[in-house]
């Protein structure tokens, strides 16, 4: 290379020469670059600080308050004569918001209208019942997040778990105890199977899990619908697409007697949370999971089989979501299930996992919060006429605020983490944008 040779027209530029001189091998792998950028955003959203989660909830409740006030009839009327008597409007706003949120509280934690503690605490046990599947599925999604996988297939995994576990529960005759365990294990394996397919596809072919999980949701839904109508899940002599009731030998026992709905599922979920915590922070498999989730390249160079981790992670993630599915059949709707037995929990689980920052105990707390929203929203509607949708809006706003940490930081004037000079990337981005 004595002098510059660039006069060659681009077409005839000897390709091996041009190729060989390319500066960095990194340039030959543009996908890796895009992949790692996506990884960064993904990590920020799924594992930011807990304070953001708390503030997101606060913000969402504030915005929810505005909407409760705005949709309230009294408030709307008094707004019409705001300038003659502003105190009316303020009074009505306060009345509407405090009424709604107090109903939410009384419907989910403690009902002060009852005489005894045993009756007053009933709403909280309801909260825990609603929280049980949310926590289980949330743990599954969170586990996926920690390995860098976005498991949106909660619905399909729950349905398959409910179908297989449910079949064991209503069609097989086994003694007390053994029957329960058999149905439980069958359900978890069903979820794991449906998740494992995704992991296998990703490991073997590189198929993106977001796409495969969504598609497997459809497959599961129509498969279970078919089985309920014409397959082995059908109730003999009935035309409604609904399974027979689970046998009593398989149903989760009540924890606090017949007055409360709280069942064994909640204990199982506590166990699952402890297991997930151990797995992620104390076991070597969890170590490898996290390494792959944080930096798959470094994990690969350190001898960790990234492919295998994807399969294991999806098996476990699906298994945890499967626990949520079997919980529905053995705990909540034991009188037989339809194709909507998942009742959207597979998707709410994503929210729970995000709010819980993909930390097992964070998910546990977030699951109880969402359980409380669910339990309280009914009494809020009954007592104050506030539509249930408000709660859904609040839940959605929570996710929105979590997905936009800079927004929350700007509102509360928090410092940006990692705002150090040793980060060339943002600089380059600004530079390009400014040109």
Partner 1 sequence: MKLELRGITKRFGALVANDSINLTVEAGEIHALLGENGAGKSTLMNVLYGLYRAEEGEILLDDKAAHFAGPGDAMKAGIGMVHQHFMLIPVFTVAENVMLGHEETKAGGRLDLAAARVRVKQISDRFGFAVDPDALIEDLPVGVQQRVEIIKALSQDAKVLVFDEPTAVLTPQETDELMAIMRQLKAAGTSIVFITHKLREVREVADRITVIRLGKVVGEASPTATNEELASLMVGRAVDLTVNKAPATPSEPALVVSGLTVIDPRGQVLVNNVSFTVAAGEILAIAGVQGNGQTELTEALMGLQPRVVGEITLDGKTLRGHSVRQVLDAGVGFVPEDRTEDGLVGGFTIAENLMLDRSHALPFVKRFNLQLALLAEFATAKVKEFDVRSQGIDTPVGRLSGGNQQKVVLARELSRELRLFIAAQPTRGLDVGSIEFVHERIVATRDAGAAVIVISTELDEVAALADRIMVMYRGRIIGIVPGDTPRAVLGLMMAGEPAPNSSAPLPPAPTEGAAA
What is the CB-side half-sphere exposure of residue 416 using CA atoms within 13 A?
10
Which residues, numbered 330-349, are part of the site for partner 1 (CB under 8 A)?
none
Binding of partner 1 at residue 52 (CB under 8 A)? Answer: no
Supply the minimum distance, in Å, between the C-beta of residue 399 and partner 1. Answer: 23
Determine if 291 is a binding residue for partner 1 (CB under 8 A): yes
Q: Does 24 bind partner 1 (CB under 8 A)?
A: yes
Q: Specify the residue, 102 or 307, whose C-beta has the smaller distance to partner 1.
A: 307
Q: Can you tell me whether residue 254 is helix, strand or coil? A: strand
Long-range contacts of 276-281 (CB under 8 A, 24+ apart): 276/139, 276/142, 276/143, 276/320, 276/360, 276/363, 277/360, 277/361, 279/143, 279/316, 280/143, 280/146, 280/360
Q: How far is the CB of 226 from partner 1 (least distance, A)?
A: 40
Angle between helices 86-108 and 360-384 (to 10 degrees): 120
Interface region with partner 1, contact rule CB under 8 A, candidates 188-196, 210-218, 279-287, 392-400: 279-287
Instruction: Indicate the SS3 state at residue 302.
Output: coil
What number of other Cβ atoms are within 10 A of residue 119's Cβ?
Answer: 12
Interface map 344-383 toward partner 1 (x if CB under 8 A): ----------------------------------------
Site for partner 1 in 389-428 (CB under 8 A): 415, 418-422, 427-428
Could you tell me how many residues of this chain bind partner 1 (CB under 8 A)? 59
270: region left, alpha or beta (phi > 0 left; psi from -120 to 50 alpha):
alpha
Site for partner 1 contains 305 (CB under 8 A): yes
CA distance 19 to 211: 34
Task: Pick the binder of partner 1 from 270, 298, 410, 411 (CB under 8 A).
Answer: 298
Using the minimum distance from each CB to partner 1, give the nearer residue, 2 or 205: 2
Please tell me the distance from the alpha carbon of residue 141 to that of residue 135, in angstroms, as a whole number: 10
Asked if 294 touches partner 1 (CB under 8 A), the answer is: yes
Piece in contact with partner 1 (CB under 8 A), picked from 3-11, 87-95, 248-256, 268-276: 3-11
* 198, 208 contact by CB (below 8 A): no
Helix axes 50-71, 73-80, angle to 10 degrees: 70
The yes or no reply on residue 46 touching partner 1 (CB under 8 A) is no
Q: Cβ contacts of residue 207 below 8 Å, gap of 6+?
A: 201
**C-beta closer to partner 1: residue 148 or 356:** 148
**Which of 116, 205, 301, 413 touches partner 1 by CB under 8 A?**
301
C-beta atoms surrounding 14 within 10 Å: 10
In this structure, are residues 169 and 250 in contact, taking their beta carbons and an 8 Å threshold?
yes
> Please, what is the minimum distance in Å from the beta carbon of residue 363 to partner 1?
19
Looking at residues 71 to 90 of the shown chain, list those that interact with partner 1 (rule: CB under 8 A): none
Residues in contact with partner 1 by the rule CB under 8 A: 1-10, 13-14, 16-28, 36, 43, 282-285, 287-288, 290-291, 294-295, 297-305, 415, 418-422, 427-428, 430-432, 434-435
């Amino acid at each position: 290379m004595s002098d510059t040779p660039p006069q060659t027209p681009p077409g005839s530029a000897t390709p091996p020469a041009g190729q060989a001189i390319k500066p960095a091998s990194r340039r030959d792998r543009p996908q890796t670059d895009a992949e790692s950028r996506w990884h960064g955003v993904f990590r920020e959203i799924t594992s930011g600080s807990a304070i953001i989660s708390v503030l997101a909830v606060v913000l969402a409740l504030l915005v929810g308050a505005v909407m409760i006030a705005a949709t309230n009839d009294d408030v709307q009327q008094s707004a019409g004569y705001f300038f003659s008597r502003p105190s009316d409007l303020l009074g009505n706003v306060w009345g509407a918001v405090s009424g709604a949120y107090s109903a939410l509280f009384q419907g989910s934690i403690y009902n002060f209208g009852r005489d005894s503690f045993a009756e007053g605490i009933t709403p909280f046990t309801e909260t825990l019942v609603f929280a049980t599947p949310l926590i289980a599925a949330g743990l599954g999604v969170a586990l996926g997040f920690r390995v860098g996988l976005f498991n949106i297939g909660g619905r399909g995994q729950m349905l398959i778990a409910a179908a297989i576990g449910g079949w064991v529960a209503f069609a097989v005759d086994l003694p007390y105890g053994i029957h329960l365990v058999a149905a439980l294990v069958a359900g978890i394996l069903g979820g794991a199977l449906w998740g494992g397919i995704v992991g296998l596809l990703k490991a073997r072919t590189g198929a993106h899990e977001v796409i495969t999980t969504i598609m497997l949701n459809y497959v599961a839904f129509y498969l279970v619908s078919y089985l309920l109508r014409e397959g082995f899940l059908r109730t003999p002599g009935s035309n409604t697409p609904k399974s027979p009731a689970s046998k009593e030998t398989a149903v989760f026992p009540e924890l606090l007697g017949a007055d409360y709905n709280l069942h064994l599922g909640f204990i199982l979920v506590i166990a699952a949370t402890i297991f997930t915590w151990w797995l992620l922070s104390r076991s070597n498999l969890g170590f490898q999971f996290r390494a792959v989730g944080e930096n798959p390249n470094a994990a690969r160079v350190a001898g960790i089989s990234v492919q295998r981790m994807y399969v294991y992670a999806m098996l476990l993630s699906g298994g945890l979501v499967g626990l949520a599915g079997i919980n529905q059949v053995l705990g909540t709707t034991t009188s037989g299930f339809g194709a909507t037995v998942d009742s959207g929990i597979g998707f709410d689980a994503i929210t729970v996992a995000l709010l819980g920052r993909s930390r097992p105990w964070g998910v546990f707390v977030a699951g109880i919060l969402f359980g409380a929203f669910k339990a309280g929203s009914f009494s809020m509607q009954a007592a104050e006429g506030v539509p249930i949708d408000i709660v859904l809006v609040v839940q959605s706003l929570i996710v929105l605020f979590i997905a936009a940490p800079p927004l929350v930081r700007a509102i509360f004037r928090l410092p940006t983490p990692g705002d150090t000079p040793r980060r060339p990337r943002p600089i380059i981005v600004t530079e390009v944008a400014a040109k």
